[in-house]
Amino acid sequence: MARPGGFCLGSRIRSVAFLAAAVLCAAPAARAAEPDLRVGAGLDVIHKRGAVVAAVTYQPVSFYAWDNDNFGVGLTYRFGGPKGFSVNTGGIAVYRTDGVIGTHLNFLGRLSYCGEKLCASFAHVSHGKIFGFEERSANSGLNLLYLEYRLR
């Protein structure tokens, strides 16, 4: 069923979420006093169980690669500091859709615990089907558990 204007409500909301994340990340108050550059690797632990993922984060931008041929670039706002617990929320643009990630624009949430040099992180990527967006698109989502090493 075609929707008016060629856009669905979910796409509009995700676009607004991306824009809000961009504004938050660009705001001077959102910038960390020190740059946070991390590289890491891990696995999907639920829907693509065992799929290897590589991650590079230069706060507020994150790059994820998985399945040897797919990747995403995310923009998030961090709640918390560079050490201890932090929560990041925002959006991610995904290169290819499939049976797990059904749309190109998705939500990205990450929970991390960081020491001086090492971080343990869990990230979830999905487009919000539980909220009624894009109900006919695949939306199992990625559930990534990974370790990161802080370079800065």
Tens digit of each residue's pLDDT (9 = 90 or more) over 79-93: 998 899 999 999 999
Q: What tens digit of pLDDT does each residue of 52-104 get?
A: 999 999 989 999 999 888 999 999 999 998 899 999 999 999 999 888 888 88
Q: How many domains does the chain have?
A: 1
Closest CA to 55 of 98, 87, 92: 92
- For residue 76, CA distances in Å to 1, 9, 16, 123 come to 33, 22, 13, 12
- 26 pLDDT band, cuts 50/70/90, is low
Query: pTM for this one?
Result: 0.77
Domain CATH code at residue 115: 2.40.160
Better-scored residue on pLDDT, 22 or 33: 22
Sorted by sequence, the CB contacts under 8 Å of residue 25 that are 6+ apart come out as: 60, 75, 76, 77, 90
Range of the domain at 37: 4-150
